[in-house]
Structure 1
């Protein structure tokens, strides 16, 4: 089996993969913030996170264009800070992506249960997860076509929702009496859920190696994707929070259908349509994020951070082992059925990944000044991104101490693994060299 990925992606397909990875965040998850904070407080959280992701994605496009590798941040950090930096970045990416998929799968199960009540949530989630693991094993070309189709349908669904709800927005629900509920503590609690609007957008970097012309395609795909996501996030928030009471919105698993129920009455056509189309948004993200973490694990295996068998490619050009094994782990977390906790864990991984990526960009500017950079940003953008990322880290840590303690424990275990595995690989390499020398001496 080979360990090289096929170059088949166009800028449009890269855009679809990035938007598809994220778009489920428009259909669920973000609204949980309103259990802690009023609409105005959440607007503050959204503004901070939106500014961060915009600065980050423009900066990240520079790295992905200069170094189009399936390892994404892991490869950038390796070149900037050495192998330990690369491992830390890669593990952070795995935490972000691998924990995002169970939350999305559970929501798919909930949507299916909403449409067909006799179908239990968790079994439906596991079946959906399994189906898209199989599809991903069919190669990136097939996966990208499916991702493009479901992403476009999901975007059309959001446009329909906006059209059906825009004229019914009541601004007093957004800036009325309970607008500042929760105060600064509420804003801190809301940050992980604001991140959910954009979480996994950086996953497009892991598909850069599979672009036909990375130096031109990557900037186009990245910039168009983040602009699309900013617009969709703002429209979704305004059209939903302007219809439903914030406390009701903060406790529902299906915010968009519930908003349409509030306008047109229960069981209306728009609400049923939104429930069905919402599945496309969730499927787009599940499918895209499976692509993301499989490429990350594939690349880390190829770079000898992980066992070599994880970088094997099947006849379709797909890293099948790197798809299946982590997906089994993801399915185990589906059984926990705790979406809010999983979102916080995934957000912590994202924050760590963003920080090391921007530090890598700044180091590489000094360390490799002659590196070809077809797309280059101002120094101010990665600096802004780093400052805001520190704010996100503080707020997520402050408001979720017990969950973050679990994540820190996982990182410590990963670091121990890194040093033990590195020592084993070095010892194995030395033994191989000694064996080769002995064989050469015998031949002489």
Structure 2
């Protein structure tokens, strides 16, 4: 490595460095990738979204969901292009690195890491609640068991883990289909409007019981119906044909999630009661129990299989955080030992160490707080990723793009603006979550500016482009 590159903050590494940091190529085709995208999100159909009814009533939650559905659809179409053009395990971080430089890339990767490292801890708390209701099990032993079992499966191999994930996700999807078929005959519009109206709120009505502000406040909960689908590109280096499989996989997942999310939002309160649903811990089960009785077969089935939905998201987001840690570590942004892979081509320590931290967080039992922190990180990353799409379209028009986003920068521009709005909305839900997110960011940014930006790895896929550009400048 030249002195110039050293001055730019790059360290020279031997070829052996990357040989010890390889993922298993060809482990996932587009069907597994689509299953991964649905798996990330499907727990949100079973619980969490309904708290938006308390914030904005059915009308507020419906409008917020439409807005977030547009944002996620536009973002997914943008990421489909970026993932086919820059297929690395860094996902959104690698796109921002190319478009926004080292600092922008790191801030994006850190936001994604905040989302994916904390979300499994929140889901573990919800899994504990389900296990307590179904089997009388709860607490630290349940959280530990799920972390150990599912990290263990991931350590066995990416292909095997993704296939198991697809099976669990299919079971959860079957429960949602059973719920939809069971609730359609009982739908009544009046059930959607039975939340009491706050007459002091501007624009308050039966449709918007909390007024216009309720739409804004419901946005983070509307996101829960789609949150984490953007993680599909993290499987880029394990895809069979990244240029074709990644766009097809993430777009298919988004279509399925739009259908599931829309039907669940309308049928759960519409078939039972919006008032009943707004604070229910298990809204799909509660809606079925209200219609068919507490011990009915369909309610019991969805209750049991609802656990599979939580497990699917827990399982898949473990995969996501490990690949994000792997990519940031391989490039030197995080300690390099975290990106080492074993014989099975999985990043062992990138799975285990964040898992230990997540388990410790789950012991707090603050699932709602952790969800809001995850949303905080997610919305920030969305704004930066879609901005990266716009910048790369302008700066690198000749970049090979096997898939091109319909609408181009107009599509990514819509997603970027809506992501900023969603980011601001998180402050309405929990300032405490924003504070803890800021603490996390402060620690990570301090590490970057004080150490890691001076010791990046030029041979890493996300850094190679700039290293080549620097060499060309020297020659010219």
TM-score by structure 1 length?
0.93
- Tell me which moved more, 320-329 or 166-175: 166-175
Q: Per-residue deviation at 1:245?
A: 2.6
CA distance in 2 between partners of 1:126 and 1:240 (Å): 32
Pairing of 1:42-441 with structure 2 (within 5 A): 42-117=61-136, 119-175=137-193, 178=196, 179-377=207-405, 378-422=408-452, 425=455
CA distance in 2 between partners of 1:45 and 1:339 (Å): 22
CA distance in 1 between partners of 2:429 and 2:180 (Å): 32
Q: Per-residue deviation at 1:222?
A: 1.2
CA distance in 2 between partners of 1:191 and 1:95 (Å): 19
Q: Which runs of 4+ in 1 moved over 6 A?
A: none
CA distance in 1 between partners of 2:258 and 2:123 (Å): 20
Q: Is the contact made by 2:88 and 2:94 (CA closer than 8 Å) also made in structure 1?
A: yes
SS of the aligned residue for 1:38 comes to helix
Deviations 1:330-385 (A, max 9, x none): 11111111221111100010001101101111111222222110111122110110
Structure 1 counterpart of 2:6: none
Q: Is the contact made by 1:112 and 1:121 (CA closer than 8 Å) also made in structure 2?
A: no
Deviations 1:297-325 (A, max 9, x none): 00001111011111111111111100000
CA distance in 1 between partners of 2:296 and 2:451 (Å): 57
Deviations 1:48-74 (A, max 9, x none): 111100111011111111011100111
Q: Per-residue deviation at 1:99?
A: 1.4
Change (3 A) 1:113 1:399: closer
CA distance in 2 between partners of 1:288 and 1:201 (Å): 10
Q: Per-residue deviation at 1:121?
A: 4.3
CA distance in 1 between partners of 2:426 and 2:449 (Å): 28
CA distance in 2 between partners of 1:343 and 1:283 (Å): 16
CA distance in 2 between partners of 1:46 and 1:423 (Å): 39
Q: Per-residue deviation at 1:177?
A: 6.3
CA distance in 2 between partners of 1:206 and 1:423 (Å): 22
CA distance in 2 between partners of 1:423 and 1:60 (Å): 26
Q: Is the contact made by 1:115 and 1:276 (CA closer than 8 Å) also made in structure 2?
A: yes
Counterpart pick for 1:17 among 36, 44, 49: 36
Structure 2 counterpart of 1:41: 60
Q: Is the contact made by 1:109 and 1:124 (CA closer than 8 Å) also made in structure 2?
A: yes
Q: Is the contact made by 2:333 and 2:453 (CA closer than 8 Å) also made in structure 1?
A: no
Q: Per-residue deviation at 1:176?
A: 5.0
SS of the aligned residue for 2:75 comes to helix
Change (3 A) 1:148 1:177: closer
Q: Per-residue deviation at 1:122?
A: 4.3
Q: Per-residue deviation at 1:248?
A: 2.4
Structure 2 counterpart of 1:431: none
Count of equivalent residues: 425
Q: Per-residue deviation at 1:171?
A: 1.2
Q: Is the contact made by 2:85 and 2:400 (CA closer than 8 Å) also made in structure 1?
A: yes
Q: Is the contact made by 2:370 and 2:433 (CA closer than 8 Å) also made in structure 1?
A: no
Query: Structure 1 stretches of 5 or more lacking a match?
Result: 427-444
Q: Is the contact made by 2:389 and 2:409 (CA closer than 8 Å) also made in structure 1?
A: no
CA distance in 2 between partners of 1:361 and 1:141 (Å): 30
Q: Is the contact made by 2:194 and 2:273 (CA closer than 8 Å) also made in structure 1?
A: no
SS of the aligned residue for 2:263 comes to helix
Query: Structure 2 stretches of 5 or more lacking a match?
Result: 1-18, 197-206, 457-476
Structure 2 counterpart of 1:433: none
Cα RMSD, aligned residues only? 1.5
Change (3 A) 1:423 1:166: closer
- Tell me which moved more, 105-114 or 340-349: 105-114
Q: Per-residue deviation at 1:78?
A: 1.1
Q: Per-residue deviation at 1:408?
A: 2.1
Q: Is the contact made by 1:193 and 1:343 (CA closer than 8 Å) also made in structure 2?
A: no
SS of the aligned residue for 1:375 comes to coil
Change (3 A) 1:408 1:165: same
